[in-house]
Amino acid sequence: MRGPASAKPQPPAPLAGCARLLAHCPDRSGIVAAVSGFLHQRGVNIIHSDQHSTDPEGGRFFMRQEFYLPGLEGSIEELARDFGREVADRYQMNWSVVLAGRKKRVAVLVSRLDHALMDLLWRVGRGELHAEVPIVISNHPDLRPAVEAFGVRFEHVHVPEVHDAPRGRGLTVPEEKMLALLEAPEDLPGCPVDLVVLARYMRILSPAFVKRFPQRIINIHHSFLPAFEGADPYRRAVERGVKLIGATAHYVTGKLDKGPIIEQDVIRVSHRHRLDELKILGRDIERQVLSRAVRWHLEDRVLVDGNKTIVFA
């Protein structure tokens, strides 16, 4: 028997008692055995495991494991402490253990174009992205009605066309206002945020701002990087007569459009496509690429290796 037309299909939520371990370290023998043995001794059931080595001799080793233990929520801190002492320190690991069931808090920065933003809000509302969006910040007021229709808080922080000089902490005045919104729990229950998404936010963030969210700011760039970095890539694509256009989701660093790439995609075009047609085609790719990158980050599938990423998708 079918449910009402208004019912929303919901994907299964991460199982209670599930957690994820992410680790990377210098490669050497025995890492997998040490991790698996540690978890086995505590009655943990490993339900999924991925690993990658850049070079078995002198390279780096990357691992992602999902595991299950009833009541893990109450003992996760103890398990992490023991893992650090017994395994991670021995293998010089950079690592983290997170509960899979906790929804990550995602703040979205946007300008006037709404296609990437609306897609994210729709996917979160449908339960396709295991996250919550407590706030959207824009340098224009235009999208307030559309955002608030999703029940999400909207804040307008004006950014001058010509950036003001950084202040004492290296932040501009608008960035200080944004940080006050993103980092002050008394103003925004549930924050600070876990991830910041630039859904076509057409302003450059200062290195000081980016450093507050290391590997936690994802940008969607409307070209297949490294081609056409910076502004107006569709116009430059027309001028060059390219046969492929694309989109790139990457982590933001202090260098414009140079951060580690998480996901990319392309579509074939021809001399018949006008600039406005390229933009329409490109926006569809942007939505898909950004949603995949955000999903993989939320599911702890991305590890950064220098200026590259290891994505266990």
Rg over alpha carbons for the chain, rounded to the nearest Å, is: 21
Q: Which tokens belong to 1?
A: 């028997």
Residue that the structure tokens 């050497």 belong to: 28
The DSSP secondary-structure symbol of 188 reads S
DSSP 93: -
- Comparing C-alpha atoms, which of 231, 204, 236, 233 is closest to residue 217? 204
Give the residues across from 264 on adjacent strands. Answer: 248
Rounded to whole angstroms, the Cα distance separating 93 from 28 reads 12
SS3 label, residue 81 = helix
Catalytic residue among 187, 257, 276, 305: 257
* Cis omega (within 30 of 0) for bond into 56: no
Q: Is 89 a catalytic residue?
A: no
Residues taking part in catalysis: 257
